[in-house]
Amino acid sequence: MSQLQSLRGMVDLLPDQTRRWQVVEGVARAHFLRSGVEEIRTPLLEVTDLFARGIGEATDVVGKEMYSFLDRGDRSCTLRPEGTASVVRAALQHGLLSQGAQKLWYAGSMFRYERPQAGRQRQFHQIGVEFLGVSSARSDVEVIALAWDLLSDLGVSGLKLQINSLGTLEDRQRYRQQLVNWLEARVDQLDADSQQRLKSNPLRILDSKHSTTQALLENAPTLLDALTDDSSQRFEAVQRFLNQLEIPFQLNPRLVRGLDYYGHTAFEITSDQLGAQATVCGGGRYDGLVQQLGGPHTPAVGWALGMERLMLVLDAAAAADADGAAATLISEKAPDLYLVNRGDQAEVVALKLARQLRAAGVSVELDATGAAFGKQFKRADRSGASWAAVIGDEEAKAGELLLKSLLVNGEEHRVLLDDPAQLIAVLQATT
């Protein structure tokens, strides 16, 4: 019988990886808590129409990448390819918008049928923030600052912020025609994918990774030149706020993001930690999405970061600086105590002691193999613990344990088993 394997692009997170993810998620959760941003959890499975209406049927996500199928009730369902549309749907369904502005965050799995590669899988994970019901340029910058400060706190270096304004729907429609006219006169210089997009979604050509198309676009008209005075003044306000917060930024007139619902501010935060600049966070304003999904006109802004890419960046940062914030954050956390034990009576005593110490907040790894003491001590050394507590049947009968330092040769203490507080005091005095 052949061995079962996970589906391509669906990756297991093993315990050492999961622990590091939890640490990163914990830092993010703390940032959001301090900023008054509350967590929301939405289903993995939604009706397909949510994403067709929200993301846009002409996008690659809806047209090529979604996992969609009919359920037993002949309803078209889709595994969520992104988080924003689901958050907006939940806010509408449960009347959150009637309670005032909402500052929400989410974390979880998303699904897109893409070619798997480093940092990008078919089941991937995002942490995202959505501010619903806020319209000011200042709120755009608050959202950007939240992402910037989180990444800085995680130890990501070489950060760069790129921003652009997509203006209003009218701005984009006017620019769309200008761009189409300009590209149609040069259609033979476009790559095949861009030629197809020229008919369906021409603004996405600006995001092309094809070198020939990129070179051609250097001389193309820009969206910034098509903005009305109001849109330009709003974008200038965003830049002033960023300068006042001393967050450096670069204008990128080719930055359009990949989803149709964006307007006005669009941004990406990149890091050079992997060598070339790699995007770790992206987002922007999407004032029209709530109305597209059946709600009232509601201004909104948000971002998402990909956990897979972020973890690659943190690994690179830790490798580059062993004493840096990233290395400290994702380093293996050793137990406070490794409990070596062997013998029928000793194993019972060790089990009880481990439970008592854990209840008191001590991290204890209990060796459950019953192997020879030498083998258990090798595992104790590998655990990274500073101390090993040794209990054999002789110690159990004597009502004591031997506490041995795994860092300082020869340092030992005899501790009474019926006085866990004494053991805890020794551990605390030497940490």
Give the DSSP H/E element, type plus range, for residue 123.
Answer: strand 123-132
Mean pLDDT in residue range 270-295: 89
Q: Name every residue whose Cβ is closer than 8 Å to that of residue 365 and which is 6 or more positions away in sequence.
A: 335, 337, 338, 339, 383, 385
129 contacts 105 by C-beta, under 8 angstroms: yes
One CATH from 3.30.420.270, 3.40.50.150, 3.30.930.10, 1.10.20.60 for 15-167+227-328? 3.30.930.10
Q: How confident is the model at residue 58 (pLDDT cuts 50, 70, 90)?
A: low
What's the predicted TM-score (pTM) here? 0.87
Kindly report, residue by residue over 290-330, the tens digit of the pLDDT. 999 999 999 999 999 999 999 999 999 998 888 888 888 88
Question: How far apart (Å, rounded) are the C-alpha atoms in residues 289 and 299?
Answer: 9
* Fold (topology level) of 337-429: Rossmann fold (3.40.50)
* pLDDT (0 to 100) of residue 258: 58
170-175 contact pairs (CB < 8 A, 24+)? 170/228, 171/223, 171/226, 171/227, 171/228, 171/231, 172/203, 172/223, 172/263, 174/226, 175/203, 175/221, 175/223, 175/226
Half-sphere exposure of 139 (CA within 13 A, CB side): 20
* pLDDT (0 to 100) of residue 431: 56
Mean pLDDT in residue range 93-97: 96
Structure tokens at 202: 């021409």
* pLDDT (0 to 100) of residue 217: 81
* pLDDT (0 to 100) of residue 9: 93
For the sheet containing 76-79, what is the strand order? 45-47, 76-79, 67-70
Residue 284 has pLDDT above 90, yes or no: yes
Kindly report, residue by residue over 404-430, the tens digit of the pLDDT. 999 877 788 899 998 888 888 888 876
- Crossing angle (nearest 10°) for helices 15-34 and 137-153: 140
**Rounded to the nearest 5°, which phi and psi values hold at 129?**
-130, 135
Share of the chain above pLDDT 70, in %: 97
* pLDDT (0 to 100) of residue 59: 67
Average pLDDT, the chain: 90
* pLDDT (0 to 100) of residue 197: 81
Instruction: Give me the residue spans of the domains in the chain.
Output: 15-167+227-328, 337-429
Q: Is 379 left (phi over 0), alpha (psi -120 to 50) or beta?
A: alpha
Number of Cβ atoms within 10 Å of the Cβ of 40: 19
Q: Write down how long the chain is.
A: 431
* pLDDT (0 to 100) of residue 278: 84
Q: Specify the higher pLDDT residue, 287 or 215.
A: 287
* pLDDT (0 to 100) of residue 154: 94
Question: How far apart (Å, rounded) are the C-alpha atoms in residues 383 and 229?
Answer: 63
Q: Is 304 left (phi over 0), alpha (psi -120 to 50) or beta?
A: beta
Question: How far apart (Å, rounded) are the C-alpha atoms in residues 294 and 429?
Answer: 62
Helices (H) and strands (E) in the chain, counts: 16, 16
Question: How far apart (Å, rounded) are the C-alpha atoms in residues 347 and 266?
Answer: 60
Residue 255 has pLDDT above 90, yes or no: no
221 contacts 179 by C-beta, under 8 angstroms: yes
Mean pLDDT in residue range 94-118: 94
Q: Specify the higher pLDDT residue, 52 or 238.
A: 238
